[in-house]
């Protein structure tokens, strides 16, 4: 039984989704996966980033993390996306990355990838569920297998009970309101397990 390969792909402006991605990596490694943690390219002008101290600090913090490429999607058996909500949908940086994967999609290389997603917003009803659903819509076009957590473990309720994927509220103090670490790790393990089932079935 070969090891599951998991790509954890994130976009972050303030660091929250990077933290979610790190927890996801920890959970996936505990489940026996080989994990790559990757960021998508920043599209915002440098002048805008320089004028936002928090954004600038985050950009510096993640500067050495590799940028996700098509080769990483092709390599992975499973993918976890972590992205903030922007007006009820995924941040444009991740959308742009997905939109550039047409070559993989056209050659059938996105089919049966096992995917799951996480998100954050400043308000508990600020579009988290809509963000995850919009991302999953793209994954349906990919022919991917969505491994949403549903209500498959009590730990999910402690994190707010989002069945589509872990979501977290970030307060004005830039701290997470809900305690989601255990939920993120559980979601990662579930994604690895489903990817293992698919991988075993394909061998």
Find the mean pLDDT for residues 69-89: 97
Max mean pLDDT among 41-45, 110-114, 171-175 falls in 110-114
Confidence of residue 124 (pLDDT cuts 50, 70, 90): confident
Residue spans of the domains in the chain: they are 5-202
Pair of tokens at residue 41 = 């390219």
Confidence of residue 182 (pLDDT cuts 50, 70, 90): very high
CATH architecture observed for domain 5-202: 3-Layer(aba) Sandwich (3.40)
Q: Model pTM? A: 0.96
Q: What is the pLDDT of residues 56-73, one digit of tens each?
A: 999 999 999 999 999 999
How confident is the prediction for the chain on average, in pLDDT?
Answer: 95
Three-state DSSP at 43 gives coil
Of the candidates 100, 156, 164, which has an alpha carbon nearest to the alpha carbon of residue 130? Answer: 164
């Amino acid at each position: 039984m070969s090891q599951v390969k998991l790509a954890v792909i994130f976009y972050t402006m303030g660091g929250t989704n990077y933290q979610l991605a790190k927890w996801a990596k920890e959970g996936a490694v505990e489940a026996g996966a080989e994990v790559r943690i990757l960021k998508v390219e920043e599209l915002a002008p440098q002048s805008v980033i320089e004028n936002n101290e928090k954004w600038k600090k985050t950009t510096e913090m993640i500067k050495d993390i590799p940028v996700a490429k098509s080769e990483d999607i092709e390599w992975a058996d499973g993918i976890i996306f972590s992205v903030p909500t922007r007006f009820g949908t995924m941040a444009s940086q991740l959308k742009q990355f997905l939109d550039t994967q047409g070559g993989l999609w056209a050659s059938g290389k996105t089919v049966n990838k096992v995917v799951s997603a996480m998100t954050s917003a400043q308000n508990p009803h600020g579009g988290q569920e809509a963000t995850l659903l919009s991302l999953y819509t793209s994954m349906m076009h990919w022919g991917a297998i969505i491994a949403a957590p549903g209500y498959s473990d009590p730990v999910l309720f402690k994190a707010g009970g989002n069945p589509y994927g872990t979501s977290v509220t970030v307060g004005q103090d830039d701290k997470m309101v809900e305690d989601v670490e255990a939920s993120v790790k559980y979601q990662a393990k579930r994604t690895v397990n489903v990817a293992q089932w698919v991988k075993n079935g394909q061998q």
